[in-house]
Amino acid sequence: MGDSTTRRSARVVTVFGSSRAQRGSEEYEAARRLGAAIAERGWTLCNGGHDGTMEAAAKGAKEAGGNTLGVSLALYRAANQNVWLDQEIVAESLFARLDQLVTLGDAFVALRGGIGTLLELCLAWNLVQSPEFARKPLVVVGPAWSAVIDVLRASLPMHPWESAAVVTVDSVEAAVHYLEAHFAESGATDQSSSRRGRA
């Protein structure tokens, strides 16, 4: 079990992705690399707590010595337990699970997935327009999401800041580099604001 104090103080990165990714596939291994990279930077990995990319990312994080947090759905828990979690929150409904996933995260990364992942992505995308979530970055990985995002931007009424709120990258490594830069910048902004408040 990871230390709960450390877990609360660390940045939490919520990763969305498919439960259908098979062990040994490129999607599974990419999620595993993402989990490892998150842990190596001292961040806590949060995800949906089941199998596929959720298992892979949590496994990568644990293998790298990191902390993992899963928000599983009670309906599927018995069939899809994830042994790589330090802490598991069992949600009784899909809505409660979604609420926990987005509330816990300081940042969101969406890997390739199905309708469930699209739902998570769209919820996070909508929430980062609000003051409470405005400083939480949203990154989508891979050509499948790039194509989806391009269609949404071209086809739906959207303000420029809504379009800019989601960042598309080609690889999990690029996603981590983006988050590193974002957290470094937001940390510097927080320190500057704190100094001004004491002046």
Question: What string of pLDDT tens digits covers the 199 residues of the chain?
Answer: 344 333 445 899 999 999 999 999 999 999 999 999 999 999 999 999 999 999 999 999 999 999 999 999 998 876 677 999 999 999 999 999 999 999 999 999 999 999 999 999 999 999 999 999 999 999 999 999 999 999 999 999 999 999 999 999 999 999 999 999 999 998 755 544 444 455 4
Q: Are 54 and 45 in contact (CB under 8 A)?
A: no
DSSP output for 92-132: SSHHHHHHHHHHH-SEEEE-S--HHHHHHHHHHHHHTTSTT
Looking at residue 189, what is its pLDDT?
52
What's the pLDDT score for residue 108? 98
Selection from 136, 135, 127, 131 nearest residue 46 by Cα = 136
> Residue 41 gets which letter from DSSP?
T
**What pLDDT is stored for residue 10 in this prediction?**
85
Query: What is the rounded CA–CA span in Å between residue 107 and residue 141?
Result: 14
pLDDT computed for residue 5 by the predictor: 37
The residue assigned the tokens 């999990």 is 172
Nearest to 67 by CA among 117, 23, 11: 11
- Quote the pLDDT of residue 151: 96
What are the chain's domains? 4-198 (3.40.50.450)
Predicted confidence at residue 78, as pLDDT, reads 63
> Do 46 and 7 touch, CB atoms closer than 8 A?
no
